[in-house]
Every structure is written in C-alpha cells, then in structure tokens.
Structure 1
C-alpha cells in the first residue's frame, strides 16, 4: 500500500443546498475562481473534524501561472450535523489563515440549513423538504464521464485513513479543444468508506490549470457543539418557501381573469 504525498493540498457552495440529503459526495466541477471545497455528507455516527487544504494553479490569458491556496475547517457530529466553511483563496506566499467568506450548517434530523455571512452577520435559515429514503451508494466516487478511460488506482492511506482511488481521463481532439491541439483532462478521486468522504480530488486541465482538494488533520472525536449553532450577533432570516395549496379551478367565475400563475377555467 503506497502513501500519498503529505504536501498535497482539500466548504461551502450554493450547490450544497441542492446536495443536502445526498448520501455520497457530488462529482467535482473543476477549476473555478470560487472553489467549492469538499462536500461533507450529513451521516450520523461518524463524527469528525478536519482541515481542507485547497491549492489551485490557474493558467492566465498571458500564459503565466497563478498559484493560490486556502484552508477550510469542516466537522460532523454523531447526529450527522455538518459544519463547512469557505475561506478566501490567497497567494501561496500568504501566511496565516485567510478571511472567512461563508459557512454552512445543516441538521439532517430537522432538515434545517443555515448559511452564515460573516460580512453582514446574517444567518439565512431554511427548512428543506424531506429527501425521502435515498439509496446509499457503496462508493462516493462519481461515475465515469461518457467516453472516459478509467484507471483503478487501488488502495492507499491518506491522513491515517484508508482510501480507494480512481482516475478518469478524457481525450479531447484538437478541433474541439480550443487550442488546436489534442489534450487530456484528468480527474482523480480518493474516497474513504470509513469517513464517507472524498479525501482528495485532483482536477487537471491543460487549458485552465490544476486544482487539488485534500482533507487532512482528521480527528474522529466529537466536535464542539458550538460549531452547529448560529453565532451570537447574527440576525436570523427565515427563507423557507411558503407552502401554498394549488388554487381551486372554481375560484374564478367564468369570464373572469385568473390570478397570475393559474390556468383560466
């Protein structure tokens, strides 16, 4: 069993709201200006805290490389509640912890999702509809994209956790690459059945650069319960959509104008 290099660098995104209730991590979307980080599955009885190390090498229009990094904190308690933060991407020469941009708290038992904005001290709260009984996948590694070559990387160990890796390689013809030359896009996933997380994801596209998202400094002890509470000084705004019954077809008399969003009788 080989060991992955410890220097490889692994939050929150708007898509997390749509992913809540999913029992395995979503497919990685590639190099972006705003980095999503890692999706923490809201599964009970697997408590953990960890640091997510994100490093990004982006190719600028003039051909030079922009190297950036950040460190995010994630946590999950025995109830399945999750905490996931996103901090600013900063130059690799930056020392210390970068500024907090946002944080996400979710409780799978109450279906309450809260997004914290440290700049406005707003806590946007929403109770999500029941996701129902979704099947639990045996692996968090997403299925291979159409036409991708699949390489099983076998078992390894990352941050003291056993992981299984797979690499997907997509061949892009020169006529479709935008560069006039053929190229390869590679995505690498290292998934832990023990933690039910993608411990490392590597995306490599010669046109845009490389990004590495890696979980490290993992502790499987119960995290501080304060992480899953709205901090003092925040104003809570309930954004749960109002559930309304569909309008009755008999509500509007014949010949009248039906309310917007309804079908005339």
Structure 2
C-alpha cells in the first residue's frame, strides 16, 4: 500500500495576506526511504506579489500579481457596460451526479456545514464492468470561509482526507508575510521584486 502524507500550516491576516507552509512525505525512488520536502507560499495581494519560498535551497521565486485595490475596481465583462451582453452560464443537470445536504456538525471545535457530491461512472463508460462511484464530502465553516474537512473516496485511487486543525483566530506576526532574510530572490514577469530581509541577496 502506498501512503502519502501532506501537512499544511496556513496563516491569514486581516489584510488578506496568506502564508502556506507545506510538508510533503512520499516514498523515495524504487521504494527507498521516504522523502520529505518543504515549501512555503506567501501571497501578498496588498503588495502585489506571490512568493514561492524554497527553504532547502534558500531561494525565493517572486511574481507580480494585480494588487487587491486594483482588483476591487474591476468589473466583469458582462457588468452592464454599453454594447455587452450577459452570457447564460446555466449548466444542464448531470444525471450521474447527486448532491446531498449533510447539515451542520462540530468538527475540531468549528461549526461546519456539510455537502456530499456523488459522481457515478456508468458501467462500460471507461471499460468498467460495474458502475464506479466517486464521493466528495466537504465540510465548510461559514465563519472562517474555508473547508475544515474534505474527504474524497474513489475506488480507483483510494481515499484522501484533509482536515483543518489547531485553529488560532489571533492576528499572525507580520514578518510571516515578508521575504525571509538571507534568501536569494528571483523575480518573474512584472518588474522589480520585493526587497529581501536585511542582508539578504537578490538576483
């Protein structure tokens, strides 16, 4: 049996900035000892940058994104401007997909609302002798506006479960959303990148 474990720590401040620290453990090549990798993604919609941080090599790849205040001023293409037409995006219901309301539940100290979506692949569609059911269960917190538990079950790929734990509602340290000191910064399209921390090299 192949097992993979991914752990993510997510920070989000009142300005909408986020920091995601990911730890991934998976089998090494040829069944050798498990390999663990670490990645950090800092999204700063206020400053207009996304930073992909590689702690192993002390490298930051930064790319420019549209600042939050500019995004707020944008309107959709069908927002009623002269000469435009609204597009009907209504989709026809798929008879092979069913959705269930699971109500509310306390999950790890957070009240969440659950939904279960079941997708059935009829027999013979992909060479399967019997119908295949893929079940996607999601529990979302209306307060936090994020999923606190997701569970995907598919006989072809096994079961994948993701949980939100150890919720801290306090404001995180502002330095978590800055480029670490001592890292080499590579800047992608969009102009000059952010300044690294004191003493940090850049490229």
**Could you say which TM-score interval applies, normalised by the shorter chain?**
0.7 to 0.9
Distance 1:180 1:85 in 2: 42
Q: Which residue of 2 aligns with 1:104?
A: 41
Q: Which residue of 1 aligns with 2:108?
A: 159
Q: Matched residue of 1:174: which SS?
A: coil
- Give the 5 Å matches for 1:65-214: 65-90=1-26, 99-129=36-66, 130-132=70-72, 133=74, 146-147=94-95, 148-214=97-163
Shift of 1:166: 0.3
Root mean square deviation, CA, Å: 2.4
**How many residue pairs get matched?**
164
Q: Is there any run of 5+ residues in structure 1 with no aligned partner, and where?
A: 1-64, 92-97, 136-142, 243-265
Shift of 1:119: 2.9
- Give the 5 Å matches for 1:44-55: none
Q: Matched residue of 2:189: which SS?
A: coil
Distance 1:153 1:188 in 2: 9
- How does the TM-score come out when normalised to structure 2? 0.72
Shift of 1:79: 1.6
Shift of 1:146: 3.6
Shift of 1:123: 0.9
Distance 2:8 2:18 in 1: 13
Shift of 1:240: 2.6
Shift of 1:99: 3.9
Higher relative contact order (CA 8 A, sep 6+): 1
Q: Is there any run of 5+ residues in structure 2 with no aligned partner, and where?
A: 28-34, 77-90, 192-203
- How does the TM-score come out when normalised to structure 1? 0.56
